[in-house]
Amino acid sequence: MTKSVQKITLSPSRDIPFNKLVLSQSNVRSVKAGVSIEQLAESIAQRTLLQSLSVRAVVDKEGNETGMFEVPAGGRRFRALELLVKQKRMAKTQAVPCVVREGGIAEDDSLAENDERIGLHPLDQFRAFQTLSGVGLSEEDIAARHFVTPAVVKQRLRLASVSPKLHDVYAEDGMTLEQLMAFSVTADHARQEQVWENVSRSGYDEPYQIRRMLTENAVRASDRRAQFVGLDAYEQAGGGVLRDLFEHDNGGWLQDVALLDRLVTEKLKAEAETVAAEGWKWISVARDFPYGHTDGLREIEGKPVDLSPEENATIDALNAEHAKLESDYQHADELPDEVDQRLGEIEAALMAFEDRSVLYDPAEIVRAGVFVSIDSEGRLSVDRGYVRPEDDLPATDPDVSRSADTSSTEGREVGASGPRTVVSVAGSPVESDGDDDDVTRPLPDRLITELTAHRTLALRDALAESPAIAFQAVLHNFVLTAFYRFASSGSCLEIGLRTPTFPAQAPGLRESASAKAVEARHESWKARLPQGENDLWDALTALDGDAQASLFAHCASFAVNAVHEPANRTNQGRISAHGVQTRLDQADVLARAVDFDMVRAGWRPTVDNYLGRVTKPRILEAVREARDESSAQLIEHLKKADMAKEAERLLDGSGWLPEPLRLTDATVSLAEEEGEADPLPEFLGDAENRENAGDDEPEQLDAAE
């Protein structure tokens, strides 16, 4: 016999005047921390009561109903209604929808109502805000109606705009809220889904890694190009900006890099036209000039414009104020914001006086030129007063036209009459990123040249810090010349004094710590030496022995040449492969003597200077050497670009160096001389085959990698 199912009877509902309701002592919510009555009251005022109260009839001692009802479940709603009555925004006799409970336990009803309440999943809130926005409510309206700030609404709407596929992953706990926030940095759903597929497989799915991948083809607003053009000008030209609403993004990322570069070039050319009015023979324009671009040029001296008495008084006042502020707060752990701001204003004002205009001899201006570029802070850099060797020669024909810089890709003459300033826009070489190559090949000659350019510059700096070794190195070179007439020209110290140039401009060379140290030392000595060469001998005589030795080491360091170059490109092929290797071996001897190390010199492997330039097996080999096999396995499935970026992170701080930057073992070098090993290290490959092959093979290898 089938047992009948007992039917459920719901408690009846009725409207009860508010003044007939009282708060029950059976309400289990006794802790009031975090409970906001005011917000709920405002919500009821906007929308009326959305949920009934649960009430029970109040009875007297005999069990008879008194006409009053207590509220064991819904106490917060009751207090909100009570507040509206006190504010005279609701009548005390207003009928309130109630569910009248009979039987059971009042405390059980109150506990169950709170326990069974489930908050919205965050994704539901994001979508709800999106719906409200879609029906015409502004962000401010939504914020006011739901008691949050407009910024929170903007964030929720941004999260709602992420790819629906990623929403589904988030809804099923497949990703964290922080990861979803990272994806909101771009509105490109296809790119979001592509990145998620990559990071979910690789395990490199931290929010910062997701943001980095989504913005890898954009330029940070803090980039000097963006600072130079200005974000407003870029956006007015139609450029888009990616913004992160959940983390400080320093202005975001500029998406249209081509547009940004065009705006930079246009602004630099406009600035060059202004400078051209000063009468210079030539102006070279570029976003950045390579290290050593002024080598071989004669710099003319200018005289700063004299300061007026008022300006001198202003400088004195600013210096006095700066000194007083520093004295007043010298023991403070942290400067107040207004004091810190004022110190910055004073320093900027003093710098403006230091950067005042410089007057040049008009006779020098007509044969000298100017370099116009952007400095590291995104400010205009105008470097005036450089004379090319050919312009220092006596002019035989005044009508000979003046040509632009041979390195330029665009030339234009500025001027209405007479000699015109030639403005040239320097070209920037762009290397193609070919298909992935899964074969371990010898390193490309150009890459080795760039790496050893870094090494040469750092070795120059190290030698300049070791006067005794520098003196011995020069003496060694002199002895070779005087006593060993038929010795090969393989010394790494090219005394002449001739400073060898770098045949390839390595990425980051100009901004390296070695370059800055060399430049600072050079400028310091330049300030101590007389302007005219006729006074130089007496000035050197006045130096003590230590100062002379230090200056000697500094000058000698400029002759260091530890750059690898293919034999058929070195001195028009006049030096053999053995001569090149001898020079590199002597560079190692010199490096060991000055206790030189590229890691201490500040070099580290990056995508730009190494990892993005070699094949995938080379990248994995580097990770294995620096870390371990398991680290290499973590990234071996990635595409080359992603692999290079992750390898940069893994190698950071490891002290790993590619072969061209390592010091060779002295015992190995001795064995090579005795014929017990190949005459060239592995990374150089077969020098004889490379000479026979000409230039084609290295160039093809560069393109493939």
User: Residues of the chain with pLDDT > 90: what percent?
Assistant: 26
- Looking at residue 577, what is its pLDDT? 58
Range from 194-203, 473-482, 538-547 carrying the lowest mean pLDDT: 473-482
Q: How confident is the model at residue 395 (pLDDT cuts 50, 70, 90)?
A: very low
* H helix or E strand, kind and range, residue 316: helix 309-328
pLDDT of residue 576: 54
Q: How far apart are CA 679 and CA 639, in angstroms?
A: 36
284 DSSP β-pair partners: 371, 424
- Token duo for residue 532: 């005219």
Query: For residue 228, is pLDDT > 90?
Result: yes
Contacts of 242 (CB under 8 A, 6+ apart): 185, 186, 214, 215, 218, 252, 253, 254, 255
Instruction: Give the count of alpha carbons within 13 A of 499, CB side only.
Output: 17
**Paired sense of beta strands 421-426 and 282-285, if any:** parallel
Question: With 90 as the cut, is the pLDDT of residue 21 above it?
Answer: yes
Query: Torsions phi, psi of 562, nearest 5?
Result: -115, 25
- So what's the pLDDT on residue 35? 56
Sheet holding 282-285, edge to edge: 298-299, 380-387, 369-374, 282-285, 421-426, 408-414
Q: 253-254 and 65-73: which strand pairing?
A: unpaired
Phi, psi of 639 (to 5 degrees): -70, 160
570 or 72: whose pLDDT is higher?
A: 72
Question: Average pLDDT over the chain, rounded to whole?
Answer: 80
In what helix (H) or strand (E) does residue 79 lie, and over which residues does it extend? helix 75-86
Per-residue pLDDT at 554: 82
Q: What is the pLDDT of residues 107-126, one digit of tens each?
A: 887 888 777 776 678 888 88
Is 426:284 a contact under the CB 8 Å cutoff? yes
Least confident span in 210-214, 397-401, 420-424, 607-611? 397-401
pTM: 0.57
**Average of per-residue pLDDT across 39-51:** 87
| Own/partner long-range contacts of 111-116 (Cβ < 8 Å, ≥24 apart) | 111/28, 112/73, 113/54, 113/73, 113/74, 114/28, 114/29
The whole-number pLDDT of residue 90 equals: 93
Spell out where 404-558 has E strands.
Answer: 408-414, 421-426
CA distances to 302, 376, 593 from 223, rounded to whole Å, are: 32, 9, 40
In angstroms, the Cα distances linking 328 to 325, 335, 342 are 5, 10, 13
CB atoms near residue 521 (< 10 Å): 18
Residue 625: band (very low, low, confident or very high) from pLDDT cuts 50, 70, 90? very high
**pLDDT of 305-325, one tens digit each?**
888 888 889 989 999 999 998
Confidence of residue 430 (pLDDT cuts 50, 70, 90): very low
Residue 57 pLDDT exceeds 80: yes
> What's the mean pLDDT in 335-353?
87
> Could you count the other beta carbons within 10 Å of the beta carbon of residue 328?
11
Cβ atoms within 10 Å, residue 500: 19
What confidence tier does 553 reach under pLDDT thresholds 50, 70, 90? confident
User: Exposed (0-12), middle (13-18) or buried (19+): which is 447, by Cβ within 10 Å?
Assistant: buried
- Which of the two residues, 570 and 270, has the higher pLDDT score? 270
d(CA 411, CA 420): 12
pLDDT at 368 over 90: yes
For residues 397 and 390, what is the distance between their CA atoms, to the nearest angstrom? 13
Q: Which is higher by pLDDT, 168 or 695?
A: 168
User: Could you give the CA distance from residue 141 to residue 144 in angstroms, rounded to a whole number?
Assistant: 5
Name the band, by pLDDT with cuts 50, 70 and 90, for residue 620. Answer: very high
The span from the CA of 25 to the CA of 56, in Å, is 12
Cα dihedral sign, 156-161-167-170 = negative
Q: At what angle do helices 189-202 and 207-214 cross, to 10 degrees?
A: 140
Output DSSP code: residue 612.
G
Beta bridge partners, 71, equal 23
334-357 exposure pattern, b = at least 16 Cβ within 10 A, e = fewer: eeeeeeeeebeebeeeeeeeeeee
DSSP strands (E only) in 62-141 = 65-73, 95-100
Reading the block at residue 342, the tokens are 């004022």
Give the pLDDT score at 541.
Answer: 76
Measure Cα distances from 365 to 13, 182, 281, 369, 406 in Å.
97, 54, 7, 7, 20
Least confident of 64-78, 498-512, 673-687: 673-687
Q: Among 79, 78, 111, 84, which Cα is nearest to 97's?
A: 78
Could you read off the pLDDT of 247-264 as tens digits, one per residue? Answer: 888 888 999 999 999 999
Locate all alpha helices (DSSP H) within 425-465, ordered by sequence: 445-464
Sort 47 into a burial class: Cβ within 10 Å, 0-12 / 13-18 / 19+: exposed
- CB of 372 closer than 8 Å to CB of 271: yes
In this predicted model, what pLDDT tens digit does every residue of 597-607 receive, in sequence order?
889 988 899 99
**Cα separation of 687 and 673, whole Å?**
16
Gyration radius of the chain over CA positions: 38
Q: Which residue in 599, 596, 589 sits closest to 652, CA to CA?
A: 599
The one-letter amino acid code at 180 reads L
Of residues 683 and 185, the one with the higher pLDDT is: 185
Residue type, 115: D
User: CA angle 686-692-693, nearest 5°?
Assistant: 85
Pick the more confident residue, 412 or 605.
605
**Token reading at 643:** 């692999």
Can you read off the two tokens belonging to residue 512?
């390296």
Q: How many CA atoms lie within 13 A of 133 on its CB side?
A: 18
Rounded-to-integer distance, Cα 114 and Cα 26, Å: 13
Nearest to 625 by CA among 647, 601, 593: 647
Lowest mean pLDDT among 32-36, 237-241, 510-514: 32-36
Alpha carbon 387 to its chain's center: 36
Confidence check: pLDDT of 704 > 50: no
Q: Mean per-residue pLDDT for 135-146?
A: 87
